[in-house]
Structure formats: C-alpha cells, structure tokens
A and B are shown apart, each in its own frame.
Chain A
Amino acid sequence: CHTSRMPTPKGKELAQNLPREELTHLILKLLQAWKEPLSHFNQHIEHHQELSDDSLSKAKQISNMVHELKTGVEKVTEKARFSINSLNGMASSEAAGLSISNEANLMSDSDFIHCFRRDSNKVQSYLKILKCKIMPENSC
C-alpha cells in the first residue's frame, strides 16, 4: 500500500493518546492521500469491459464520498476550532509520505482495493475516536 509508511497508530490506546489536532490531521492526510489514486483508478477501470456499470458507478461514488468526507472533517475542525494546516494543495503522494509519486499507480487492482479498504477502515476508526473525544455525550 502506498500509505503503508505513514505513521499511524495501530492500536486503541495509541490512537486515543493522540491529541485531537494530530488525529484530525492524520485523518485528513489519509483522505488526501487517496484522492489522486482514486481518480486514477476510476479512469483505469473505465476501460475494463468485464466490470458492470454498477461497479463503475460505485467506484465513482466512492471517490465522491471520500472527497465529501474530507470536506466534512475540515468543517468539523473549523467548528471545533482546531488549528489545522490545510492540506488542499498537497498531492496525494506527498500526503502519503512518499517521495515517488507513481507508487500508487503500480498497485494491482486487487491490492488497490485491499489497501483502500484497510485505509477506509482506519479512517472510520479514527473518526469514531475523534467523535467521542469531541462529543462524548452521544453514544459514547
């Protein structure tokens, strides 16, 4: 995975010990790191004839969701008044901590999906922790 080298907490305590700003920054970095690979992937699978239209539309939907999620997290941080450096200008590979920008493109499709699944699970877990830190009253 191209995000393998990103220093992310791999356990509950590690994630909980991170301050909120760092955690949010990490989430945003992860989301940013997938932005370009997702668009590349979408372009790539459009030429696949074996895939159904459903799959293609799903893939596009997923890219949109990632983008929306990133926007949403940024809004949340604004409201919660974190000080976060904007990551908008950062390239995906830069966000992933890579020096080579093409590494994301070298993955095979199955690897890509596997990596994306894992990272989205990561983002989900971090967001849940963040949510309970910010708003502990609901369902925490």
Chain B
Amino acid sequence: MMQKFISSVQIILLLSWTTVCLFGQSFPGKPKIVRCRSLEKDTFSCWWKPGSDGRLPTNYTLFYSKDSEEKIYECPDYRTSGPNSCYFDKKHTNHRTTYNITVMATNEFGSNSSDPQYVDVTCIVQPDSPVDLSLETKTSAGVTDLWAKWSPPPSAHNSSSWHVYHYELRFKPEEEEKWETVSVGVQTQYKVVKLNAGLKYGVQVRCMLDCGEWSEWSPERQIQIPNGQSPPEKPTIIKCRSPEKETFTCWWKPGLDGGHPTNYTLLYSKEGEEQIYECPDYRTAGPNSCYFDKKHTSFWTIYNITVKATNEMGSNSSDPHYVDVTYIVQPDPPVNVTLELKKPINRKPYLVLTWFPPPLADVRSGWLTLEYELRLKPEEGEEWEVRKLQIFARLYFFLHTYYVNLRHVSLNNFICFLDYRVKDMIVWIIVGVLSSLICLIMSWTMVLKGYRMIAFILPPVPGPKIKGIDTHLLEAGKSEELLSALGCHGFPPTSDCEELLIEYLEVEDSEDQQLRQSHNNGHPGKNAKMTSKETDSDSGRGSCDSPSLLSEKCRESCTLPSKLPSQDVREIHENNAGKKGWETQCVASSEDKALPFNIAGTKSSTWPAANTHPSTFAYHSTVDAQKITLSTTNVNAAPVLVGNEEKHQSRYSTSETLCEENLEKQREMENMHSKNDQSTIQVNQNKLNEKSSFLNAKIMDYVEVHKVRQDENSAVLLKHKENNGKIEKYTISGNSKEYTKVSTVVDHNILVLMPDPRVQHTPVYQEPAKEMSQTLQQGQVEKNMSYCLPVPSECQREAGGSEYMDPSSFMPSFK
C-alpha cells in the first residue's frame, strides 16, 4: 500500500515537474536592487540582482522618480556600468533629490517589480577631501602642542549645506609606517598631543558626510616638532610698496619661532653706503612691517633690506631684499568716483564718470603722474572690458570726466598707473599750412590782377603830353630850363623856318648895331663867352617862327625854368590866333652888378602857323625865342645886361645859370623882402625903330628892366637904349614880384607893367625912355632874386586881362 502511494506521488511529482519543465514559463522573479554607487563625480550607477527569470527571456527596466514627483523616468543608460545596471550621467544626477528607484522584470507571462529603493544622491557621492590643512606648533611651558587646522571641501553644490561632514585625522612620525587615526567629529581643527619633540610628523585628514562614504585623505602636511628651544626660523620679506612715491613700507613673514617669543628687526643699508640702519617705524603699517617715512626715503638708490628674527636661543636673518623705491610705486585707487547717466535729447544716452586722483598722490608738482584704466562689463556679460584712458597731460584737470557709451555698466576696481605722453607738432603744421595758403592767395592775386599790380608797382611811362607851358612856371622865371627841357636844340627847321630864319637874321643884324652902341655904355664884362655863345646860338636859332608871329611886336622869348610847363598851348591858342609871344626877361638878382637876366617861366609862345606839332613848335620857338632874345639881348647888350655886351653873354650864360639858380631859389626867396636890396632891373627897350623893323617881321621886342627900387616899393626902371625913354621909377612892393601884366602903355615907349594879381610877383614897371645904366650900376643886386618880367615893350595890356599881349594889337600903335 505504501509503495503504491509513494509511487503515485512520485509519478505526480514527476508529471508536474515535467510539466513545469516542459512549459517552464512563469512569472519572473522579483529583482532586487543591490546597490547604488557613485564612481565618478556627479554621476552614479545602480545595480540589481535579477530574480528567477521563469525560463523565459526577461526584460529588465528601471524606473525612477525624483523626490515626491509623480513623473516616472526610465533609466537613461543600461550599458555603461555593465549588465543589470543603470548609469545616471551628469544630466540625470541631481544632488538635491532623492531618487525612488524600482526595477521591473518582464517576460511573456508577466512582470515583477522590485521593492523601491530610495537613493539620496549626496549620500552616495564620495565627497572631496578637506583642504587647507595647516599645522602649527605651540610651545608653552615646555610642552609642545600641534595644532592642525583645515577647511571642508569646497562644495560645488549648495546641497551639502545641510549635510554635516565628519572628519577623521591621522598622523604619524615621518619615519614610521603606521598611522594613528583620530576621529575628530565635526570640527575643523584638532590638537594633537603627546608628540615626540624633535620628530617630524605628517598629518592627514579626511571627511565624510553623515550618510555617505569617506573621502580620500588630504595631502600630507609635515611639521617639525621643535626641540623646545631653538632659534627661530628664517623670516621672509614679502613685499615693499610705495603708494605715492614719497614713502614706502615693507612687510615680512615670520618663520617658526622656535618655541620662544621672537623679536623681529629690520635692518637696511643704502647703495654705496656702509652704514646699516634700523627700521624707523614698526607700527604705522601694522604687524610684521616697516614704514619708511619721507626723511628716510631716497630715490634712485638701492636699499638692501634684511629681517632678523631673534629669540632666546639665537637669531636668524632673512635673505637680503634689494629694492629701489622708484620701481615699487603702487598708487591707491582713485577716489570720489561717481557715475552719472545723461540722457540728452536726440542723442544716445551716455554715462559720465568722474573721479579724483588718490589723495596722497602729488600730481600737482609733476612728481607723480597717473594714468587711468577703466574696466567695465555689461550686467549680463561675463568679460570685463578694459579701456586705457588717454588723458593728455595738457588736458588734465583735477576733475576727470570720461564719457562711456554703454547699455549697462558695472563698475569695479580702478587701477592707477604712472606716466603720460605729450606730443605737440600741431603748431608747426598750422604755420606751414597758413603760409602756403598765403602764398597761394598772393600768387593767385598776382595772376589775376597781375597787370594792375605791375602797373601799380611800376607805373607806366606816361606818353608824351605836351600841354603847353605852365603860366606859373613861366612867371616864376624858369623859362631857361623849360626851354632847354623842351629840347629845342636844333631841330631840323622846316621850310617855314627858313623864312623865320631869314627874318631872324635880319633882326640880329640890326641888333648888333644896337649892341655895339650899348656896348659903350655898358659895363665891361665877360662877353667872350657870350659872343661865342651868341654865334653858336645863331645856328641854333632856326626856330620855326611863323612870319606872323615874328612880326608881332610882342614876341616874347622866354627862357623857361627847369620846370616844364604843363601849360596850355590851348591858352595861347585861345588868344588871338594864339599868336603870342612874349619876351620875358629874367631878372635875376645876383651878385653881379649887372642886371640879372632872369628868365621867368612864362608861357611858351606858340606858333600856330605850324599846325603840325604846334606844341613842339611852341617849345622850340620858345627856346629859340629865348635864344633869339638872348641874341638880341646880346646884340642890344641890354635886355639882359646892362650895357655890357660882354657881360650879356657871359651873364647870360652865367645869368642863365644864375637865372636857373635864382629861379629855383626864387620861390624860397620870394618872401624875403628884407634882404632884398635894390635889385636892379634893367630893361632895355629896343628901339622903336628896330622894333618897327621887327614889326615887319613881327618880332617881339623885349625890354630890359633896369632897376627896381625896393624902397620905393618896386620901382622898375626900364632902360631904353635909345635913351629916349623916360625913366620912371616905380617901387616894387616886395622884391620878389613879377611883373607880367601890363597895365598901361605910356607914351610910346613906356610900358607899364604891373604885378599879376595871380602871381604875386608881377612887378609893375615902366619902360623908361632913357637908359639907366647908371642906376643899374649903382644897384647892386645882392640877393638871389629872380623873376621874370615879360617885357613886351610895345604891347598893350589886353583888355581881357591876360598877362600876355597880343602884339598884333600893338602894331598900329607903333606905326
């Protein structure tokens, strides 16, 4: 019975097992999450262990959710960490969250989930080691303690702020192998006691979050346990700085103090000097520093600075530090920095930045020059933009303004530098440009108005304009020069001239007679020259006098002064047929006793017959007329000179010169009445006979003024050669009067001349009938008065009031 039962059970079991084996498939087993670890920073992986898979291929999926969120994520990476694992990379690792992870196994029959696993990421991530481990030994009362200090690892994420680190410290002497580990707790410092003096110890520390793993050990720090009594360690000089280039400070760092209180002294010496000084001020700049004030600061000298640490056991000096103050200047930042936003209308808004240089810096004297740099960054931006501020020294004011065009500016540190640069060539450039401009303008002007400019600079030679002879000049008695200027030196005579010449010769002959006659009466003089001149002048006498003119009685020959008269031919033309001539005698006051021959400048006679070149004729004629006059004078020995033929000529020449001189001086002497002594004027009057003969030829005769007596208020005595005339005396008012106007004609021989109201010096004189040689002799003309007297003997004054008379009008009177 039992056997049957057992076999049936076996058969049943076998059948079910077979069935199970044959079909084998069933629900998968429940997987189990084994562990989650963080192998790398910010990543972690989870592994699971599959349950029974029910002989069917099973798919495993890992689902997780964060914190208490509803959303379910699937594992991002099934492969990286190996089979049956899920790798969470950086993106999927959030340190602040707790992951709720489940693994689900799935096969044909169904699926099966594991129990949920809560994973706090922070707990599974291995923290970093603690940092900044520092060791310090403190010896007191012969006991040396080692103080170790450190800092927690820098937490990149703030998630660990509510996690507390636990620390562990371990140490061992240098030579030994085994570490001694101490659990520190949550503090970041620890005192290690019971250390063997004189040994060198190494110390390490590690940390752990309360739920996580231990970090790695920090790097080992070593420290020497002092023996309890040893000299201090060598201090080191950190840096020396000068904020304003007038003082400077040095700082040092002390070494181990060797267990005893240590004193630090700073010693320095200057370049080139032997003496060693001690720091003048240990306090102003703080502990472990030395402040050199103005008195102790020298520039351009190298300081040799050392720091000595002294304690009971001994002393130790630092390495020497060489410093030249000029190169260690580091100014303070600028002060009073203000930033303003300006929004002008129609323009972009801009910022105005103002600041002041640091207070200590002495920029005023130029000892320190500062350069500024600006750093700015838009608010959202990352990078700082640095701008160097180009402030030229010349534009440097104590208040600096700088315009910034930006959207957002965040100000930060400012840095001061030294130095500036000034360049100035602008002045020379401006000068060069201006001068070239001026040159251009001038050349342009020259081109445009060149003609005018040249004309302005070099006036063109005026064309010849012969207007005639100026009355004034003629009256002034400078006819000589005028005529000479007229250039009547022997111009070729025309056919007309021949007649004239002939007539002229006629006159001359008759004149000669008179000359001889008068010669007796005249004074001996120097006539030789005159004669020669006379003869010379004969040839030159080919004047183109027209017959009509020659026939005129009142032909005037005038030697004109140097002044070329601008006188009007017209005027002469205006008068009756313009046939006028006049005889002008130059009355020159000279030292000679003889009558000065003054040739006043008067109008030139015009010879209208010559239609061609009347002016030239006029001039020529005047000159010739002059010569004729002279010759006649010479002949007469009278018109000019008193009875002295020789003198005539000589005097003519001399008087000519004198006349010229006198004429020139006349103007000066015009008003000199006082000095004028009796100026004798002799006027010789030609014989009427001669004149009548002349009249045929219409030659004007001339009269010589004999004498002018000043005291009698201008008495002019006219001398008539024939001694027919009377002599009447008229006083001449003023010596320098010219008598160019004829007032009346008295008798037939006497011509009364009067001073021309226009010309003040027209004398009034009468033609004497007699010869007044004696008076002439008496009269000495001392001064240089000269004036010309027109002496138309037979001329009547014109009714028109002109100075010159128309000889033709007189013709009948004589005849």
Contacts and interface: CB of A to CB of B under 8 A. Distances in A.
Interface stretch (A43-51, A79-87, A89-97, A125-133): A125-133
B403 interface: no
A121 interface: yes
Interface string A2-18: 00100010111101100
21 contacts: A8-B300, A10-B298, A10-B299, A10-B301, A11-B297, A12-B246, A13-B294, A15-B367, A125-B299, A125-B367, A128-B366, A128-B369, A129-B367, A130-B366, A131-B366, A132-B365, A138-B395, A139-B369, A139-B391, A139-B395, A139-B397
A40 interface: no
Interface string B310-337: 0000000000000010100000000000
B437 interface: no
Contact of A139 (B246, B299, B362, B394): B394
Interface in B352-378: 362-367, 369
Interface string B262-274: 0000000000100
B396 interface: yes
Contacts of B364: 132, 140
Given A118-B300, A122-B300, A4 B393 contact: no
Interface in B70-122: none
Interface of A: 4, 8, 10-13, 15-16, 118, 121-122, 125, 128-133, 138-140
A11 B294 contact: yes
Interface majority SS (helix, strand, loop, mixed), chain A: helix
B245 interface: yes
Interface string B256-297: 000000000000000010000000000000000000001001
B326 A4 contact: no
B365 A12 contact: yes
A125 B367 CA distance: 6
Contacts of B392: 139
B36 to A, nearest CB: 63
* Top 3 A-B pairs, shortest CB-CB distance: A139-B396, A132-B366, A128-B366
Given A10-B299, A118-B300, A118-B324, A140 B294 contact: no
Nearest to A127: B366
Nearest to A132: B366
Contacts of A8: 300
A74 to B, nearest CB: 17
A140 B300 contact: no
A11 B363 contact: no
B55 to A, nearest CB: 83
Contacts of A139: 363, 369, 391-397, 420
B301 A121 contact: no
Contact of A11 (B272, B299, B391, B394): B299
Contacts of B298: 10-11
Nearest to A15: B367
Given A138-B393, A139-B393, A12 B367 contact: yes
Nearest to B295: A11
B365 A129 contact: yes
A8 to B, nearest CB: 8
B245 to A, nearest CB: 7
Band of interface residues on B: 20 to 34
B300 A121 contact: yes
A10 B246 contact: no
A138 B394 contact: yes
Interface in B394-444: 394-397, 420
Contacts of A15: 367
A31 to B, nearest CB: 16
Nearest to B394: A138
Interface in B120-167: none
Given A118-B300, A125-B367, 8 more contacts: A4-B272, A12-B362, A129-B365, A130-B366, A132-B364, A132-B366, A138-B395, A139-B392
A19 B16 CA distance: 125
A138 B397 CA distance: 8
B366 A10 contact: no
B711 to A, nearest CB: 74
A12 B245 contact: yes
Which one of A4, A118, A131 has the greatest number of beta carbons of chain B within 10 Å? A118
Contacts of A131: 366
Which one of B362, B366, B392, B394 has the greatest number of beta carbons of chain A within 10 Å? B366
A67 B66 CA distance: 80
A129 B397 CA distance: 17
A132 B299 CA distance: 20
B326 A121 contact: yes
B635 to A, nearest CB: 84
A4 B420 CA distance: 27
A16 to B, nearest CB: 6
Contact of A10 (B300, B363, B397): B300
Interface string B231-246: 0000000000000011
Contacts of B299: 10-11, 125
A69 to B, nearest CB: 13
A84 B397 CA distance: 32
B773 to A, nearest CB: 83
A16 B365 CA distance: 8
B42 to A, nearest CB: 51
A132 to B, nearest CB: 3
Which one of A10, A15, A139, A140 has the greatest number of beta carbons of chain B within 10 Å? A139
A121 B328 CA distance: 13
Contacts of A12: 245-246, 362, 365, 367
Contacts of B366: 128-133, 140
A131 B367 CA distance: 10
A114 to B, nearest CB: 9
Nearest to B392: A139
A138 B396 contact: yes
Nearest to A137: B394
A128 B395 contact: no
Interface string B185-211: 000000000000000000000000000
Contacts of B395: 138-139
A128 B246 CA distance: 15
Contacts of B362: 12
Contact of A140 (B301, B363, B391): B363
A130 B362 CA distance: 14
Contacts of B391: 139
Contacts of A13: 294
A17 B369 CA distance: 19
A67 to B, nearest CB: 18
A49 to B, nearest CB: 31
Nearest to A117: B327
